[in-house]
Chain A
Amino acid sequence: GQQLNQSPQSMFIQEGEDVSMNCTSSSIFNTWLWYKQDPGEGPVLLIALYKAGELTSNGRLTAQFGITRKDSFLNISASIPSDVGIYFCAGLTTDSWGKLQFGAGTQVVVTP
């Protein structure tokens, strides 16, 4: 099946630093989604991308839908302690009928 390669697996950053993570695939996706999950909670949708080349911001978060439709990245600017968590990318194709393909996740740890 389709696999999403998400990197890095984890990152330890200082408060105030910028964070960048990305997902790549060998297959084309029509939708890219970015989620954040805190321990014991459900994933929270951060950004949804529907068009190749689309660049979307949500506060300190910026995500882009790669022009080849096979990749996406998420940037977090000026990190704060509450940015700690696991970030997942997920993709949808037109024939996936709701079956999201998830990346393995990026664990972000922010130190003061």
Chain B
Amino acid sequence: DTEVTQTPKHLVMGMTNKKSLKCEQHMGHRAMYWYKQKAKKPPELMFVYSYEKLSINESVPSRFSPECPNSSLLNLHLHALQPEDSALYLCASSPRDTHYEQYFGPGTRLTVT
């Protein structure tokens, strides 16, 4: 089983709203990732968590705040987003650590109005 789940599937939010994206995996993977993807482009890495600790932040604006409550869960808290933040947000996880293949979730389609 290589399933990564993400909720919600779709999210529409205003620029003053606060919302959260949720990612879950029960494969015992110890590395988890957030990506942002624009249409017809490859995913762009935002954050990497390894053994529940933030190991990479790709200079992401502070309006995006990641959280890893435990080894199975990854959240992305959103606040005061801009319309250009509208995109498909993908979560991924790797077995053992960050040197191995990544399994992606289905994504959350975010629209900022």
Interface residues of A (CB under 8 A from B): 30-31, 33, 35, 40-45, 48, 86, 88, 90, 92, 94, 96-100, 102-105, 107
Contact = CB atoms under 8 A, between A and B. Distances in A.
A98 B55 contact: yes
Contacts of B107: 40-42
A40 B88 CA distance: 8
B40 A98 contact: no
A88 B102 CA distance: 13
A-B pairs with lowest CB-CB distance, top 6: A98-B98, A102-B42, A42-B104, A48-B101, A98-B48, A42-B107
B90 to A, nearest CB: 5
B56 A98 contact: yes
Contact of A43 (B43, B45, B48): B43
Nearest to A42: B104
Contact of A99 (B40, B56, B100): B56
20 contacts: A30-B99, A31-B99, A40-B88, A40-B109, A42-B92, A42-B104, A45-B2, A86-B40, A88-B42, A90-B42, A92-B99, A96-B98, A97-B50, A97-B56, A97-B98, A98-B33, A98-B98, A100-B102, A102-B43, A104-B42
B76 to A, nearest CB: 15
Contacts of B98: 96-98
A75 B50 CA distance: 33
B103 A45 contact: yes
Contacts of B81: none
B50 A98 contact: yes
B11 to A, nearest CB: 14
A89 B102 CA distance: 12
Contacts of B90: 42-43
Given A40-B109, A88-B42, A98 B104 contact: no
B110 to A, nearest CB: 12
